[in-house]
């Protein structure tokens, strides 16, 4: 087991396969941004497999592929197959904006991908275009349909409410998820980079009261995946709503994850700069023991908590640079 200095078990790694994306969401990648990592610095599939295998040997069993947009990485189903075949990898999931999902859903499912999270912030075409910078709603909806046909169940829809932009669309999204048997998760925007810092987060604590009354939701202790969401459900359990509240009610005391960026940097916290680069070791053909020792050391760098509220301008790296 990997235990950090504050007694938290690290049993979840988010693995970025690219920092690039085909969208420019207003809370993520700035328009005109060109500071992406050079492909020569991306971890290869062999290197990613080595890192995931090392974490699995050390007791971490849950992994999520992220980006940027992970489906922009060529031959991603091949990587999914390789990782899903590793001993002790019990759960392999992926977060996507779904613009490319219709072409890849079947292959991903057949390769062993267990679960899907899809980022979708509105069902209004003009609002989606405002947030993402392009007209892609039809592509996303086709991707979701293809994923259901491929056999993915309880797909999670990740929605970031933005004040004055899509906050009024939440009820419509709830209805949509009830109709299609999706799990809806509302996420407070974090002040990462100039984009995250330019958006005022919507405090979700007030929103849940209205949703509870309108959709007869009751608080639940259900666990859906490995993330920090707190869930509410309809009384028959047919629909689940999750809230992820890093700003209004942070969950640092139970944080169980680290992030591996596309260039091999382990980031210990979204709201701090603590990190450790594995790429030099991998490129020097380190032994498995050396890699495991480096991972154990990196866990000692994990901070106790973020300080987004106290220092909202501190983290200037954008979300796609960190890795989902």
Chain segment 89-127, per-residue pLDDT in tens: 999 999 999 999 999 999 999 999 999 999 999 999 999
Q: Is residue 203 predicted with pLDDT exceeding 80?
A: yes
Q: Is residue 198 predicted with pLDDT exceeding 90?
A: no
Among candidates 55, 17, 10, which has minimal Cα distance to 226? Answer: 10
Chain segment 146-181, per-residue pLDDT in tens: 999 999 999 999 999 999 999 999 999 999 999 999
Alpha helices in the chain (DSSP H): 45-57, 76-84, 101-111, 125-132, 137-150, 170-180, 193-197, 204-215, 279-283, 288-299, 319-322
- Residue located via tokens 């974490």: 55
Chain segment 205-258, per-residue pLDDT in tens: 889 999 999 999 999 988 888 888 999 999 988 999 999 998 888 889 999 999
Residue 219's pLDDT is: 93
Residue 126's pLDDT is: 98
Chain segment 16-69, per-residue pLDDT in tens: 999 999 999 999 998 888 899 999 999 999 999 999 999 999 999 999 999 999
Residue with the larger pLDDT of the pair 146 and 315? 146
Query: Topology of 12-322 in CATH?
Result: TIM Barrel (3.20.20)
- The structure's pTM equals 0.95
- The three-state secondary structure class of 187 is strand
Q: Is residue 309 predicted with pLDDT exceeding 70?
A: no
Return the bridge partners of 267, or none.
Answer: 259, 275
Write b or e for each residue in 8-28: b if 16 or more Cβ atoms lie within 10 A of its Cβ, otherwise e. bebbbbbbbbbbbbbbbbbbb
């Amino acid at each position: 087991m990997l235990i950090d200095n504050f007694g938290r078990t690290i049993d979840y790694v988010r693995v970025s396969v690219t920092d690039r994306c085909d969208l420019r969401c207003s809370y993520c990648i700035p328009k005109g941004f060109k500071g992406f990592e050079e492909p020569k610095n991306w971890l290869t599939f062999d290197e990613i497999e080595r890192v995931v295998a090392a974490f699995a040997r050390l007791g971490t069993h849950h992994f999520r592929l992220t980006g940027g947009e992970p489906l922009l990485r060529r031959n991603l189903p091949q990587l999914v197959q390789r990782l899903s075949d590793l001993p002790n990898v019990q759960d392999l999931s992926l977060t996507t904006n779904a613009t490319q999902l219709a072409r890849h859903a079947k292959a991903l499912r057949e390769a062993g991908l267990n679960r899907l999270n899809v980022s979708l912030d509105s069902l209004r075409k003009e609002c989606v275009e405002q947030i993402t910078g392009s007209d892609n709603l039809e592509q996303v909806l086709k991707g979701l349909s293809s994923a259901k046909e491929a056999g993915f169940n309880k797909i999670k829809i990740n929605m970031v409410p933005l004040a004055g932009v899509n906050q009024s669309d939440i009820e419509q999204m709830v209805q949509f998820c009830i109709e299609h048997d999706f799990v809806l998760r509302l996420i407070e925007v974090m002040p990462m980079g100039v984009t995250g810092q330019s958006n005022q987060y919507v405090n979700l604590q007030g929103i849940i009261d209205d949703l509870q009354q309108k959709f007869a939701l009751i608080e639940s202790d259900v666990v859906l995946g490995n993330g920090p969401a707190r869930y509410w459900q309809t009384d028959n359990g047919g629909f689940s709503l999750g809230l992820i509240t890093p700003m209004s009610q942070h969950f640092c005391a139970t944080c169980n994850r680290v992030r591996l960026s596309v260039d091999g940097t382990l980031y210990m916290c979204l709201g701090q700069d603590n990190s450790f680069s594995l790429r030099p070791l991998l490129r020097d053909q380190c032994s498995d023991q050396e890699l495991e020792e480096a991972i154990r050391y990196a866990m000692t760098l994990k901070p106790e908590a973020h300080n987004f509220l106290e220092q909202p301008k501190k983290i200037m790296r954008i979300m796609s640079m960190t890795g989902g």
